[in-house]
Structure 1
Amino acid sequence: MPESFGSLITIAIFVVILITIFTSFVSVKQGTIVVITVFGKYRRILTPGLNFKIPFIENIYSKISIQNRSVELEFQAVTYDQANVYFKAMLLYSVLDQQEETIKNVAFKFVDERNLMQALIRTVEGSIRAFVATKRQSEVLILRRDIVEHVKEQLDVILEGWGYHLQDLQLNDITFDEVIMKSMSQVVASNNLKAAAENEGQALLITKTKAAEAEGNAIKISAQAEREAAQLRGQGIALFREEVARGMTVAAKEMAEANMDTSVILFTMWTESIKHFSENSKGNVIFLDGSTDQMQHTLKEMMALNLLHTDNVKK
């Protein structure tokens, strides 16, 4: 009996030694910090790897992850002009650093993780609501970046006191009541129509302006061409008259030398003119006074014109 009792004591001592050995070493995972307390009071922290602790005296109070953590938020805010705004956001945060004082804040500021999350979410929501309450509904959508910067500025100071740091805040969705969304869509549609009408008006103005410029240039070119053509026609007529006068002068001189009446030239010109009229005119009838008196009157006029032209040539 005494031998059996001694064996049990030996076994019990061996078991206690094993338990003591196993509880003296703590393996801490990467990205985790372990907080050690002694009789409920903070003692020290254990970093990743294999660590030694005093068995039965030092206890593991908490294991704190220093990795990034995220949480999704959904909440409502009211603008300055009493419009309801609905936010969907994603919050990314982490432990500020691995300093001992920081880890102590993380471990002992809140009772548990649930209370931390509640305080964090309410702080973010309150900061955004306070900012949105000073803005009008039409300004909220274009102030997304300003809202994020405002929240980070306000939240960083608070979170540092808790031992945390706000990595990022993303406002993934910002919506309004259905009535407001419809009115905003109508405003956008009307603005688009207005812009389209203005663009169309500008395009039409440009088209009309270009057409007017082209028409003006065409008129200028046509007028220039007509002027040049008129000048050429005038020069041609002048040359024609000059040649006719020169030819009549030569013919009259030759007929005078031959003792012939020069009025025959005028008569010939008169008959050629009548022939030209009959061949090129569009009418069917040419009215002529064929009386002897009229013929003599016409010949006299032609002879007078010939004499006048001859005097001008001699001068």
Structure 2
Amino acid sequence: MDFLISYWWLILLALALFGCFVTINQGTIGVITMFGKYQRIMRPGLNFKIPFLEQIYKRVSIQNRSVELEFQAVTIDQANVYFKSMLLYSVINVDEETIKNVAFKFISDKDLMQAMIRTVEGSIRAFVSQKKQAEVLNVRRDIVENVKEQVDITLESWGYHLQDLQINDITFDEAIIQSMSKVVASNNLKAAAENEGQALLITKTKAAEAEGNSIKIAAEAERQAAQLRGQGVALFREEVAKGMSSAAAEMKQANLDTNVILFSMWTEAIKNFAEYGKGNVIFLDGSSEGMEKTMRQIMAMQQMEQPKK
């Protein structure tokens, strides 16, 4: 009998000793209560607790957790906006007060999750309700920053921190999507027409500039050619006059009739008219009086040009 009693005492002692040690896994914190009241926390590893008196109330995870959200919001111009997002959160730190808040603020993780989701959705809905439908797609970053600023204050009182909010998708009703597509298409057509008009204007401007430059170059070339032709005619007249004067002087010294040289030059002129003419009709006075009159005019031109030298 005494042997059996001793045996049972040994079993109870072994169970007590076995119950004195508790293992807390990495990434979790153990919350200990005694008689239903918070007592202390246990860090990861092997821990000691008073058998039968201290109890592990909860194992709090300090690892990152995520949840996906799908909800609807309404803009200021009464357009339905549908969001798909991902929420990343975790315990702020492993301080004792923080772990106490995490362990005792909510009955279960399900209640915590519901409160967190509704808080985030409410913050986004309040922000979107102040924006127009056309502005929502351009304020994605502003939505995230606004939610973090407002929701973090609430989450910190629960012992949690919002690490990241990713808005993965923003969609609208089918009618709104079609109208937005039409607006984008019309804007693209308008931009294409403007670009085409600018290109055509540039092309026309460059062509006009090229034509103007061509006209200027041709006019300058014609002016220079006319100047050269005038200089050539002047030199020709000067040389003709000099030749006639020289020939007349020589014939005078030889006591010859000057009408011979006049007749020679007259026939030479007629020959040049016939050789280089381009179909123009030229009326000439072939009488001796006409030749003499023409030569007098040429000699007079020579005399007019001499004072200019």
Q: Show the 5 A alignment for 1:72-111.
A: 72-111=68-107
- Alignment-derived partner of residue 275 in structure 2: 279
Identity score, percent: 66
CA distance in 1, matches of 2:192, 2:283: 73
Within a 5 Å distance, the mapping from 1:200-219 to structure 2 comes to 200-219=196-215
The residue identity in structure 2 corresponding to 1:147 is I
Which of 253, 259, 265 is the matching residue for 2:255?
A: 259
Matched, 1:142 2:138: yes
CA–CA distance in structure 2, aligned partners of residues 162 and 229 of structure 1: 98
> Which range moves more in the overlay, 17-26 or 47-56?
17-26
2:301 aligned with 1:305, yes or no?
A: no
Distance 2:46 2:85 in 1: 39
Correspondence 1:157 to 2:153: yes
- Find out whether 1:123 has 2:123 as its counterpart: no
C-alpha separation in 1, matches of 2:202 and 2:172: 41
Unaligned runs of 5+ in 2: none
Q: 8 Å contact 2:22–2:47 — kept in the other structure? A: yes
Distance in 2 of aligned mates of 1:252 and 1:302: 15
C-alpha separation in 2, matches of 1:287 and 1:230? 23
Q: Distance in 2 between matches of 1:171 and 1:125?
A: 12
Going from structure 1 to structure 2, the CA distance change for 1:75 and 1:313 (only over 3 Å counts) comes to: closer
Match status 1:71 vs 2:63 = no
Name the CA shift for 1:287/1:113 in 2 (closer, same or farther; >3 Å): closer
Distance in 2 (alpha carbons) for counterparts of 1:119 and 1:310: 119
Q: Report if the CA contact (8 A) 1:278-1:286 is conserved.
A: no
Q: Does structure 1 retain, via aligned residues, the 8 Å contact 2:29–2:62?
A: yes
Distance 1:100 1:194 in 2: 64
Give the superposition deviation at 1:8. Answer: 3.1
Q: Offset at 1:231? A: 1.5
Normalised by the length of structure 1, the TM-score is 0.92
User: SS where residue 137 of structure 2 aligns?
Assistant: helix
CA contact (8 A) 1:85 1:176 kept: yes
Query: Which stretch has the larger CA shift, 209-218 or 108-117?
Result: 209-218
Question: What is the number of equivalent residue pairs in this alignment?
Answer: 307
Measured after TM superposition, the shift of residue 62 of structure 1 is 0.3
Q: Is the partner of 1:142 in helix, strand or coil?
A: coil
How far apart, in 2, do the equivalents of 1:202 and 1:287 lie? Answer: 57
**Match of 1:241?**
237
Runs of 4+ in 1 over 3 A off after TM superposition: 285-290, 309-315
- The range that moved more, 103-112 or 229-238, is 229-238
Aligned equivalents of 2:222, 2:86: Cα separation in 1: 79
Q: Name the structure 1 match of 2:222.
A: 226
Pair 1:189-2:163 in alignment: no
Alpha-carbon offset, residue 215 of structure 1: 2.0
